[in-house]
Amino acid sequence: MKKYIYLSAIILSLYSCESNTYESIEEPTVIVGKVTYATNVKSIIDENCIGCHASGGQLIPLTTYTEVKDALVNKKLLDRIQLQNGTSGQMPKAGRMAQDKINTILQWNIDGLLEK
């Protein structure tokens, strides 16, 4: 009998772990380990920036690792994405991104601008 109680306790705890995992997927991105361009940054840039910053356009392109890194190091990308709404020079022009996306890019810089 005791065995069954232990067994059901284990099964219960397995299920509760599983549902926690599903919940945390819906919360703002929690990054485990170092932020990299390929895993964390590219998708944010693709979604918010390349509509205007495509390759072959008038503006600086932000479509590759080297381009985004160069914009961060030499073109004040970090300053631009942190400007308050309505400030001139703000990127994206339509308004600040969600704070967790801005934080991901700040953390990428802190972690050493890794490609992957």
The residue assigned the tokens 């995992």 is: 21
Closer of 48 and 104 to ligand HEC (Cβ): 48
Single out the segment in contact with ligand HEC by CB under 6 A; choices: 2-10, 13-21, 35-43, 86-94: 86-94
**25-41: b or e for each residue (b if 16 or more CB lie within 10 Å)?**
eeeeeeeeeebbbeebb
- For residues 77 and 91, the answer to whether their CB atoms sit within 8 Å is yes
Binding track, positions 43-82, relative to ligand HEC; x by CB under 6 A? -----xx-xxx-----xx----------x---xxx--xx-
Rounded to 5 degrees, what are φ and ψ at 67?
-65, -45
Closer of 28 and 51 to ligand HEC (Cβ): 51
In the complex, the residues that contact ligand HEC under the rule CB under 6 A are 48-49, 51-53, 59-60, 71, 75-77, 80-81, 89, 91-93, 97
